[in-house]
């Protein structure tokens, strides 16, 4: 019987992580960026604000052979949840982008939002904290989880 093996790479543990944050609110972006600077130094955080900019950014990463982000944090309401779901679907149906883990972030605690996000293949769902301190704690915990617990397939272009 032939043995099949899979190569597992944990890129965020061993090199600088690249995270794409899709957030349409300038205020939320300010707080998220601050939380990353304070709790995940060295990480490269890039922001886009809508579906068009996000897909253009991903295409640029691919075309210029810069490497895709290691992770995408995607706000569900951009400004409507249908926009967030449409972007999630676009990422997950594309043969080049679908391997990038997508974590939905939202103020919504509605079960239907959470269920639909997972149905469309998000990798996780985080309810946004409401304070600076909450964001700091969330990013710190997320960093620990993502760098110590998660094994990801090797990134490919």
pLDDT tens across 107-138, in order? 999 999 999 999 999 999 999 999 999 999 99
CATH of 16-145, one of 3.40.50.10800, 3.10.20.90, 3.90.1150.10, 3.40.50.2300: 3.40.50.2300
What's the confidence (pLDDT) of residue 154? 65
**Angle between helix 26-39 and 132-148 (nearest 10):** 50
Whole-structure pTM value: 0.86
What's the confidence (pLDDT) of residue 85? 96
Reported as a single tens digit per residue, the pLDDT across 11-53 is 444 347 899 999 999 999 999 999 999 999 889 999 999 999 9
**Domain spans in the chain, listed from the N-terminal domain onward:** 16-145
Q: What is the mean pLDDT of the chain?
A: 88
CA distance 29 to 46: 10
CA distance 89 to 37: 29
Rounded mean pLDDT, 131-146: 93
Least Cα distance to 105 among 75, 140, 133, 77 occurs for 75
């Amino acid at each position: 019987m032939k043995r099949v093996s899979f190569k597992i790479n944990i890129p965020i543990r061993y090199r600088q992580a690249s995270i794409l944050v899709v957030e349409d609110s300038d205020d939320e972006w300010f707080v998220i960026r601050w939380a990353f600077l304070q709790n995940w130094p060295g990480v490269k955080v890039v922001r886009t604000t809508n579906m068009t900019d996000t897909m253009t950014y991903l295409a640029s990463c691919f075309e210029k052979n810069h490497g895709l982000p290691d992770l995408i944090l995607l706000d569900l309401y951009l400004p409507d949840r249908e926009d967030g779901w449409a972007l999630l679907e676009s990422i997950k149906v594309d043969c080049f982008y679908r391997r990038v883990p997508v974590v939905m972030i939202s103020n919504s605690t509605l079960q239907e939002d959470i269920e639909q996000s997972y149905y469309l293949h998000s990798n996780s769902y985080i309810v946004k904290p409401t304070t600076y301190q909450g964001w700091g704690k969330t990013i710190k915990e997320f960093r620990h989880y993502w760098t110590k617990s998660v094994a990801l397939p090797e990134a490919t272009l």
